[in-house]
Amino acid sequence: MIRPKITGTGSAVPQKVLTNFDLEKMVDTSDEWIVARTGIRERRIASEGEYTSTFAALAAQRALEAAGVAPEELDLIVVGTLTPDFPFPATACIVQQIIKAPNAFCFDLSAACSGFIYALATAEKYILSGKVKKALVIGAEVLSRIVDWTDRNTCLLFGDGSGAVVLEAVEGESGVLSTHMHSDGNYWEILYQKGAGSRNPATQKNLDDRLVYLSMQGNEVFKLAVRAMGEVAQEALSANGLTPDDVSLFIPHQANQRIIDSIGKRLGITGERVFVNLDHYGNTSAASIPIALDEAVRAGRLKEGDILLLDAFGGGLTWGAALVRW
């Protein structure tokens, strides 16, 4: 049986570190308050001259090297992001130029923090259709450019970076077992970027009104995220005749430690079976799962035959899960 298999992972984050103690000097907050409510201790922030494509391309190169795949072998590049370099062209096309992958077709996918799961599912379907043999799937963000650094309710949550995987058509039992995606547009206003689109274009007034920054109703997001991520994780397991006890490693979207703990408790997956790097990077949106996956792989947390559960939730609202046999 042909399955889409993850054959290489890579990640890249900025060198610049912004700690909670740095934030204490910027807004009315404290390290103790941030850690207690989010679990975040520091995040990485892009410097001048660094863009979403910068980290996406570097993560891609590392994933290709790990997979032993040359860029010219790629048939597809898809980038999940809500912070592309430009409204157009797609950041995926810029990555294609940087890594020199002339034979791939490329596009971006916007599903906020669920972007990597959506991108992975899209590449999975292309491989299962027989149209694609080797795909590069990337989650990449520079959220620091759309964060209001005067708003203590949001600025402490987010960071920058990218993660990538190489997905190949491989015969055998290992690979992506299934992907599951959902959306509910009734809640789009609880997490979105108000400006810079066609509704509120980048006029001077909209800039002065700070509409270019993201807006979030944190309490509502929390409640919906826990429920939705728990349900879609169960959906993925049930679709494959598995239970939470079968999961070797659970990598949830790294948004908030309390969300991660609540979902783990709901599923009965706790302790060492849950991979968390939120404390170092904050919420990197579409990049959070692939960055965590790359770190888990390089730390030896996955072995052949392990069941890996990926689970995300983001603006839209969107949510999704993927189940993988390593």
Helix 257-267 to helix 218-239 angle, to the nearest 10 degrees? 30
- Residue 212 DSSP symbol: T
C-alpha span between 38 and 23 (Å, rounded)? 14
CB neighbourhood size of 300 (10 A): 7
Provide φ and ψ at 195, rounded to 5°. Answer: -120, 180
113 as an active site residue: the answer is: yes
| Strands (DSSP E) found in 35-148 | 42-44, 76-80, 105-109, 134-142
Q: Are 76 and 135 in contact (CB under 8 A)?
A: yes
Catalytic residue among 93, 106, 155, 253: 253
Within 8 A by CB and 6+ apart from 302, the residues are 248, 249, 296, 308, 326
φ/ψ of 149, rounded to 5, equals -80, 5
Cβ-based burial of 214 (10 A; exposed 0-12, middle 13-18, buried ≥19): buried
Residues 6 or more apart whose CB falls under 8 angstroms from that of 76 comprise 104, 105, 106, 123, 126, 132, 134, 135, 136
Is 20 tagged catalytic?
no
Told to judge if 93 belongs to the known catalytic residues of this protein, a careful annotator would answer: no
Q: Which of 20, 113, 155, 256 is catalytic?
A: 113
CB atoms under 10 Å from CB of 29, counted, come to: 17
- Which residue, 14, 38, 47, 35, is CA-closest to 256? 38
Helix (H), strand (E) at residue 129: helix 115-129
Residues with catalytic roles: 113, 253, 283
